[in-house]
Structure 1
Amino acid sequence: MKWFKPKVGQFILKVLGIYICWYLIYEFWLLPKGSLDAWLTTNIVSISTGILEMFDYEVYASGRFFGIGESPGIFLADGSSGITALGLFVGFVIAYPGKWIPRIAFIIIGIGVIYLVNIFRSVLLAIAQVSWPGFFDFMHNYFTTATFYLVILVLAIVWINIGGEEKKAADETELFPTEV
């Protein structure tokens, strides 16, 4: 079993453990209570409509519901808040080795980036509903979801490269050792 690396296994178990805990807390406590999702989705609607108005779209909004002109509109359900994706991101950053102060700073920055991407996603879906109604379902189910998780993957890669533990200067597996 030379391919098995204990640290990789530990990392995967940590990520899974953290994510499962987050998922259980979200599914059985936060989601039924609904206040966090309601606050976040109405906030996203408010900012999304503000952005659309800046680009001279005629918008309407009510609570978690918004749209452009006479379009059917978009309802941001609980799953549209991005909270489960935030749990995945935070779980990864917590599980990957690194110092705690940069880790906390990166989590805050990452949450902000994911939040902004979710706003962009909502704006794009509202525009798609009016401009490209035939592509709305594809954009909602595949394109924007893939983009959302691609951003999380990029954030994870950034954390690995800037936030992880320092590499040893003289690694034994180095191809070109400096000492002769």
Structure 2
Amino acid sequence: MTTTTATALPPARSLRRFLVLAVVLYLIWFFTYEYWVLPDGRLNSFLSQNIAAASVGLLRILGFPASLDPERSTLVMMGKQQAVYVGDYCNGLVLYVLFMGFVLAYPGPVRHKLWFIPVGILSIYALNVIRVAALAINHLYSYKTVDFNHHYTFTFVVYGCIFLLWMLWARRLALPATTVRSQSEMEHA
């Protein structure tokens, strides 16, 4: 009895399921965000304040004179200088939902999704804290490059890491990486 190893590819039906589910999840997110989360503002405010505070904590651990602005709890200060403002579009909420939506829509065992989604969201959160802290350090030493690094360098890094998480899910955790068939199974297929 001989065996052959072949990479398992999702069938067209799985692709259609993924696309339909992704669109449905996106629409749910869009309407929930636009009509409830955004107007309410509390979740965005909480996340922005939390990212700013965690970044200040990281900077202090690293020995930098960081603090939050006493009047705006989403503004990271380096010494007495304003360094980074964490706005609603930079607090990571959209990234968490985008990541979660992909994993939920992509076929795979629910038991893996139950641990992979929180681990992925925590990873993205930590990356965002590091990003804000790095921008504050960038502002301290080379403030003229902050805008470029904010819009390009860190966007590339963050989305690249999310892509790697997705690839880990799609290639290793969602579906079996290989399918083993006996020779007789291959003949009857």
Matches of 2:163 and 2:182, distance apart in 1: 27
Count of residues paired in the alignment = 171
| Corresponding position of 1:48 | 55
Call closer, same or farther: CA 1:99–1:89 in 2, change over 3 Å: same
| Corresponding position of 1:102 | 112
Decide which moves more: 105-114 or 34-43: 34-43
| Corresponding position of 1:13 | 20
Report matched runs for 1:1-180 at 5 Å. Answer: 5-62=12-69, 63-166=73-176, 167-170=178-181
**How far off its partner does 1:171 sit?**
9.5
| Corresponding position of 2:4 | none
Matches of 1:171 and 1:5, distance apart in 2: 24
Matches of 2:171 and 2:150, distance apart in 1: 31
| Corresponding position of 2:8 | none
Matches of 2:157 and 2:102, distance apart in 1: 18
> Which stretches in structure 2 are left out of the alignment for 5+ residues?
1-10
Spell out, residue by residue over 1:116-162, the C-alpha distance to the aligned partner (whole angstroms, 9 max, x if none). 01101100111111111121001111111121111111110011122
**How far off its partner does 1:48 sit?**
0.8
**Higher RCO, 1 vs 2 (CA within 8 Å, ≥6 residues apart):** 2
The DSSP-based 3-state class of the residue aligned with 2:82 is: coil
TM-score of the pair, normalised by structure 1: 0.86
**How far off its partner does 1:90 sit?**
0.5
Call closer, same or farther: CA 1:171–1:161 in 2, change over 3 Å: farther
Matches of 1:91 and 1:136, distance apart in 2: 31
**How far off its partner does 1:13 sit?**
2.8
Matches of 1:100 and 1:92, distance apart in 2: 13
Decide which moves more: 69-78 or 85-94: 69-78
Matches of 2:32 and 2:156, distance apart in 1: 25
The DSSP-based 3-state class of the residue aligned with 1:108 is: helix
Q: Percent identity?
A: 28
The DSSP-based 3-state class of the residue aligned with 1:60 is: strand
TM-score of the pair, normalised by structure 2: 0.82
> Which stretches in structure 1 are left out of the alignment for 5+ residues?
none
Call closer, same or farther: CA 1:102–1:6 in 2, change over 3 Å: closer
**How far off its partner does 1:6 sit?**
4.0
Decide which moves more: 147-156 or 56-65: 56-65
Contact 2:14 2:107 in 1 (8 A): no
Contact 1:73 1:126 in 2 (8 A): yes
